[in-house]
Amino acid sequence: MTSEETKRFSLAIQDQVNLLRLQNLLDKGCEAMPYHADGEPIRLWPRDDIQKILPEANRHIAYHQVYHSLLREWTRRTGCPDFLGIDYGDALPDNLAQNLAEILASTVT
């Protein structure tokens, strides 16, 4: 959520690199930074908005990185053909879900 409204931001690899650049500009004290929401032209975003966007993007990226890794572990543990019934977005088994929660709690601010 930005100061205007909810915007969608792509988090493809190049976008993640761009977000690191924004963090660097933020750390240097810049008050406005160039970036774009999906499908919109680039523009200057105020510091307050960038401070909201970056942690949300980092949480989203971290969640999906950890979830994907644990989902792969789940499919490795599950024999064929049962693993064919596992889809991205499925709730993880309890022990892996606990692992997901612990990792996110300790690494994402």
Reported confidence tier of residue 1, pLDDT bands at 50, 70, 90: low
pLDDT digits (tens, 9 = 90+) for 25-59: 999 999 999 999 999 999 999 999 999 999 999 99
pLDDT value for 6: 85
Whole-angstrom Cα distance, residue 107 to residue 109? 7
Question: In this model, does residue 80 exceed pLDDT 90?
Answer: no
pLDDT value for 109: 58
| Beta carbons of 92 and 73 less than 8 angstroms apart | no
C-alpha count within 13 angstroms, C-beta hemisphere, residue 6: 1
